[in-house]
Chains A and B, each alone.
Chain A
């Protein structure tokens, strides 16, 4: 609470810690601007002296379709997650059907199943139904990362909505659906944003499902774009790192715009439910 002379000393230490922590991120950016001929230099250039935009040119030429697919998959996952999770959370938190507790418990368990294992089951099903290597298939698989989390977070938030608010709506003649749409949804805006952020980020970052369920498709997400790049082309690290920088942009933008939602989501996920 008191900011005395010692506060500055702490700020200095804090900056050092943060710099150490973020060094890999800096290094990724630095390498993305480094020329091919300087790449294997020892000691390396600490700053992008004689920097090049070659890497970014390669991204523009080769990776844009991947980025587009990731955007579509991310938005699709957010939409699917919200459509499933918001009504369910409302029901669990406010309408309280019998057996709701068991469902909540199952959702907790669902979060503990490793993605690698889900991928194997999905592979068998997708192969049989012909959705292997398609964008909708990937959206469905990616949504399993977010749905249980989303329902639990939203339900925890919605159970905090005062009962009086809902009653008032009912006295005014609003049905369950109307109350949901016109009262609960607007009030829950912040938690819906939090959930959407995480659903998007998880889908954007997903590698397990992409590499098992969309390996052979014509529409692959950016995580596979980077992965193929490393595999085919491990000389051009500036291009690989430039792709990595571009792939990190959504995370960075979201962090800047919505940092309080992000922090709220992490803690809510861990501490509340």
Chain B
């Protein structure tokens, strides 16, 4: 978006381009006789065609199949024979009435809100810290990216072992300060917090990098002016930096929201959503229904998944709106 506003208006460029005679080496036989404008348009679609086909085949069609799954009574056998009866919204009704639905929705909300709050606050504090220049600043900032780049199975299994009740390093540290061991992953009171802690850790780098670049974009003379007016460091942050950072903050939070709603690997690897649904979210529930049992229930699984898509899309559209507004400003 930023780039687009800096380049000359597209129309001007296009009309200039159009006057250039159509090149003969084009390949498409009819191209060199057709008017130049037409050939340009053909070329544009020729370059786009693979992606359009790709989107239809690998996004639209799987999503269509997913909706179809959610409206039928599928079993493994009917998958092969292709004779699953159409049941309308029965799967959705079944899912919403399920005892897991309420807790899963609530866990999704808690997991998302708590993750976002801590990722953002810690990320912003670190971003402010790193805007001051000091030795090794760039190197340390690059090292902060490591947790974000690691495969999720790696970070999740590391956290699993760190939070292990008997032999985990976290309980060893707690014991050293006189706190009784906590059953991080095996107690229903703690499992949701454990996966949230791991998710916060994974999300901090993203927040740090994006907010840091947002801070870099604020002209330094604004700070200098505030400093001359006698604003303290804290006042400068709350009254100047934070308001100016608002568009970037909004986008960071919304992107974080859309990402966090999707989180599946971390929870599945650390707790499988357990014990007894204590850390089940909509994403892990959907997976468990579809793939986590010997007898898969694809229909309800797809129904949960589609509900999750709707939630993600609602926030996603908010995100796009916010971004459009920012792009226009």
Contacts and interface: CB of A to CB of B under 8 A. Distances in A.
A244 B157 contact: yes
Q: Chain A, interface size: which category?
A: 35 or more
Contact of B66 (A120, A170, A171): A120
A47 to B, nearest CB: 12
Interface string B197-224: 0000100101001100110000000000
Contact of A28 (B2, B158, B287): B158
A117 B150 contact: no
B26 A177 contact: yes
A230 interface: yes
Interface in A161-175: 162-163, 166-167, 170-171, 173-175
A17 B172 contact: no
B7 A244 contact: no
B316 A114 contact: no
B139 to A, nearest CB: 9
B58 A124 contact: no
Nearest to A4: B134
Most buried by A among B24, B62, B146: B62
Contacts of B275: none
Contact of B50 (A42, A88, A241): A88
Interface size bracket, B side: 35 or more
Contacts of B54: 84, 147
A255 B17 CA distance: 40
A259 B147 contact: no
Interface in B251-272: 251-252, 255, 258, 261-262, 264-265, 269
B325 interface: no
Given A42-B167, A113-B312, A160 B59 contact: no
Interface in A190-216: 201, 204-205, 207-208, 211-212, 215
A39 B150 contact: no
Interface in A116-162: 116-125, 127-128, 140-141, 143-144, 147, 151, 156-157, 159-160, 162
Contact of B43 (A143, A144, A176): A176
Contact of B147 (A24, A112, A156, A241): A24
Contacts of B120: none
B142 A25 contact: no
B320 A105 contact: yes
Contacts, number: 335
B137 interface: yes
B30 interface: no
A124 B13 CA distance: 46
Nearest to B50: A84
A42 B181 CA distance: 12
B176 interface: yes
A170 B262 CA distance: 45
A211 B161 CA distance: 21
B316 A112 contact: yes
A248 B154 CA distance: 7
Contact of A143 (B47, B58, B143): B58
A146 B126 CA distance: 28
Contacts of A53: none
Contacts of B55: 106-107, 110
Nearest to B25: A175
Interface stretch (B89-97, B98-106, B303-311): B303-311
Q: Which 8 A-B pairs have the closest CB atoms?
A: A121-B62, A95-B44, A205-B151, A88-B51, A91-B47, A175-B23, A117-B305, A97-B44
Interface of A: 1-3, 7-8, 10-11, 13-15, 17-18, 21-22, 24-25, 27-28, 31, 39-44, 83-85, 87-88, 90-92, 95-98, 100, 103, 105-125, 127-128, 140-141, 143-144, 147, 151, 156-157, 159-160, 162-163, 166-167, 170-171, 173-178, 180, 201, 204-205, 207-208, 211-212, 215, 222-223, 226-227, 230, 237, 240-241, 244, 247-248, 251-252, 254-255, 259, 262-263, 266-267, 270-273
8 contacts: A18-B140, A44-B167, A109-B320, A124-B65, A157-B3, A251-B149, A271-B2, A272-B1
Given A10-B132, A125-B65, 9 more contacts: A11-B137, A91-B43, A121-B69, A128-B82, A144-B59, A147-B54, A170-B23, A175-B26, A241-B157
